[in-house]
Amino acid sequence: MAAHVVLYLYIYSLIFFSIFKQKKKKKKKKKGMAGSFAGSVGIGLPCSTKLSHTTTSRSFRFSRVKMAVTLDEKKKFTLKKSEEAFNAAKELMPGGVNSPVRAFKSVGGQPIIIDSVKGSHMWDIDGNEYVDYVGSWGPAIIGHADDEVLAALAETMKKGTSFGAPCLLENVLAEMVISAVPSIEMVRFVNSGTEACMGVLRLARAFTGKEKLIKFEGCYHGHADPFLVKAGSGVATLGLPDSPGVPKAATYETLTAPFNDISAVESIFNANKGEIAAIILEPVVGNSGFIAPKPDFLNAIRKLTKENDALLIFDEVMTGFRLSYGGAQEYFGITPDLTTLGKIIGGGLPVGAYGGRREIMEMVAPAGPMYQAGTLSGNPLAMTAGIHTLKRLKEPGTYEYLDKITSELVEGLVAAGKKAGHAICGGYINGMFGFFFTDGPVYNFEDAKKSDTAKFGRFYRGMLEQGVYFAPSQFEAGFTSLAHTSEDIQHTIAAAEKVFKQI
């Protein structure tokens, strides 16, 4: 009898301990998921089960993230927490955001509040997972939160976060940029694309001694006063007129023409003989949706600027290191006088840059008299993330991979849309793409505006529910990355096939 009691006690204690151990394990796992992200450098994702790191046959490496669930297994989509957070945000910040397009005004519905990103994926605070085609609006070309970039940042951070004095990392990134971008012989780092465009305009005016500027309708060059004339991006998305608060005097010298219309540019030159300092343009427009230049447009612009003693500025904040390692200018074989950069060269940290021919850049203070400065310019963390991002992009096969993955995406989306009976057209170059709900062709902003934006809104919200995050506007380009996989693309196309039937 006693032996039986001892045996029962022994068995019960075994069962009790195994249950206790399991509970403890679960608790530990939960704790790790919730707590690992805050301030984590090199740790990566809260939910490491979603990761599958693969080494491809190519020589470049990156984090590939598998969708945690397939379309059919998807749990109920809810944005309850995002909604609560956004309602609170609206009381704290204008429109609840720190940059207008993020508020989803043009697509309707509820913006998602992001919790974390990794590779080609992101997660919102309700736990929904998305394949991301925004890539932080361009910088994430090697994938979000890349392990090597995070590790390099952690090393740099040990030495401090800002020096406000020269550092070696500035030389390294400057050399990389100069050797990559055909037009750049000298470069000045700043903190955003807006700043880069402000600086480059002042420089063009200082160098030429002229004041007038030609820009194109639907092109966006940041939010500085002289560029807020028929601008793209948020201005186009929200259908805003030229912004209040911009003095007439600030835009008086800004002249505009439709993109891809060379005779309109000729007319402006003829009407303003000897007065045009520069033409600035996005060589491939991304801020009215994706619009490629007609075959001879950039060539003709280059010729006209030379004939009229005006400078040609390529705003490559978006296209730099995205269309090819040397940007749009390398891709199209047209060398401007000056170039602006941003996004990718900061690898996800705030950065911008402008550069060009040495004789022009030597006008910039303190080498020359044109004043421009910045407390955080050349910041060691931004330089580090930029250096490691460019290093990866320089590896062989990267742009071929981007081309492969983007063509699969755009061709699949357009085919699925057409099959479902929609008017749709799309385009892409390597890691940049776009599609419009119109038959096309789309050569300029007027053409882009023919797109059915209400339908885009319905498509957008449908795709969000299926775990696909596009830019929340018909008038913004999309971006792929080295971390996007064929599986991501197939997931996206399958989702689109479903949504196209519903809209």
Ligand X SMILES: Cc1ncc(COP(=O)(O)O)c(C=O)c1O
Among 119, 135, 199, 342, binds ligand X (CB under 6 A): 342
- How many angstroms separate the CA atoms of 388 and 146, rounded? 10
Reference 478, options 119, 234, 236, 136; nearest CA is 136
- How many angstroms separate the CA atoms of 42 and 52, rounded? 16
Binding status of residue 192 toward ligand X by CB under 6 A: yes
- According to DSSP H, which parts of 258-397 are helical? 262-271, 297-307, 327-332, 358-361, 380-394
Binding status of residue 402 toward ligand X by CB under 6 A: no
Between 192 and 237, whose beta carbon lies closer to ligand X? 192
Omega cis (within 30) before 166: no
Among 193, 218, 417, 467, binds ligand X (CB under 6 A): 193
Q: Which stretch binds ligand X (CB under 6 A): 85-93, 171-179, 193-201, 433-441?
A: 193-201
Is residue 456 a contact partner of residue 437, using CB atoms and an 8 Å limit?
A: yes
Binding status of residue 445 toward ligand X by CB under 6 A: no
Binding status of residue 489 toward ligand X by CB under 6 A: no
- How many angstroms separate the CA atoms of 503 and 500, rounded? 6
Q: Is 343 a catalytic residue?
A: yes
Binding flags for ligand X, 218-247, as an x/- string (CB under 6 A)? --xxx----------x--------------
Binding status of residue 217 toward ligand X by CB under 6 A: no
- How many angstroms separate the CA atoms of 238 and 100, rounded? 8
Q: Return all residues near 387 (Cβ < 8 A) that are at least 6 apart.
A: 152, 169, 172, 173, 176, 347
CA-based torsion, 353, 294, 310, 210: positive or negative: negative
Q: Is 66 a catalytic residue?
A: no
Binding status of residue 290 toward ligand X by CB under 6 A: no
Between 116 and 287, whose beta carbon lies closer to ligand X? 287
Between 386 and 467, whose beta carbon lies closer to ligand X? 386
* Cα-only R_g, the chain: 25
Amino acid identity, position 364: V
Size of the site for ligand X (CB under 6 A): 17
Q: Which stretch binds ligand X (CB under 6 A): 187-195, 261-269, 359-367, 419-427?
A: 187-195
Q: Is 460 a catalytic residue?
A: no
Reference 316, options 290, 352, 289, 349; nearest CA is 352
Binding status of residue 318 toward ligand X by CB under 6 A: yes
- Active-site position among 66, 343, 449, 455: 343
- Active-site position among 130, 210, 215, 220: 220
Among 106, 128, 194, 480, binds ligand X (CB under 6 A): 194
Q: Which stretch binds ligand X (CB under 6 A): 166-174, 282-290, 305-313, 405-413?
A: 282-290
Binding status of residue 287 toward ligand X by CB under 6 A: yes
- How many angstroms separate the CA atoms of 190 and 42, rounded? 26
Binding site for ligand X (CB under 6 A): 137, 192-194, 197, 220-222, 233, 282, 286-287, 315, 317-318, 342, 352
